């Protein structure tokens, strides 16, 4: 399975206790070779405050679980917060990564394959 066949089909987020649970359903399976990233882009209505949350895979295995903000804040999290099997990837991000977003915020999903933007502006079903 190549990364070019791993399209995001459905992305949802929900707040659960102190976690932001993001579920990414892909068409096909997590690519078994190369780099593949799924994530969320959250922003204020005018895009002046942006945050990216992501999960990176290398050769089919999760290798990085991260957050960064336009203000230079960067964090990596323990991979224990990532679950994946076949065509479903779930990340348990700290809820604090999206705190402070104003009403009317924008939330979309993205994927990157081998360092190139692959999909952007994928709709996210929110239950916050």
Residue 115 is encoded by which pair of tokens? 């360092």
How high is the pLDDT of residue 116? 76
The reported pTM is 0.90
Give 83's strand partners.
90
pLDDT along the chain (128 residues), means of 10: 69 94 93 93 85 95 94 93 93 88 86 84 88
Distance CA 90, CA 84 (A): 6
What are the residue ranges spanned by the domains of the chain?
A: 3-127
Fold assignment, 3-127 = Immunoglobulin-like (2.60.40)
What residues contact residue 99 under an 8 Å CB cut-off, 6+ apart? none
């Amino acid at each position: 399975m190549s990364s070019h066949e791993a399209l995001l089909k459905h992305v949802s987020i929900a707040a659960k206790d102190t976690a932001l649970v993001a579920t990414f359903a892909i068409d096909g399976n997590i690519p078994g070779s190369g780099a593949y990233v799924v994530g969320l882009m959250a922003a204020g209505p005018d895009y002046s405050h942006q945050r990216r949350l992501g999960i990176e895979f290398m050769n089919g295995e999760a290798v990085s679980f991260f957050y960064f903000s336009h203000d230079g804040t960067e964090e990596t999290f323990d991979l224990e917060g990532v679950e994946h099997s076949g065509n479903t990837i779930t990340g348990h991000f700290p809820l604090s990564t999206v705190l402070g977003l104003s009403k009317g915020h924008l939330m979309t999903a993205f994927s990157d394959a081998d360092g190139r933007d692959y999909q952007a502006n994928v709709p996210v079903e929110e239950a916050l």
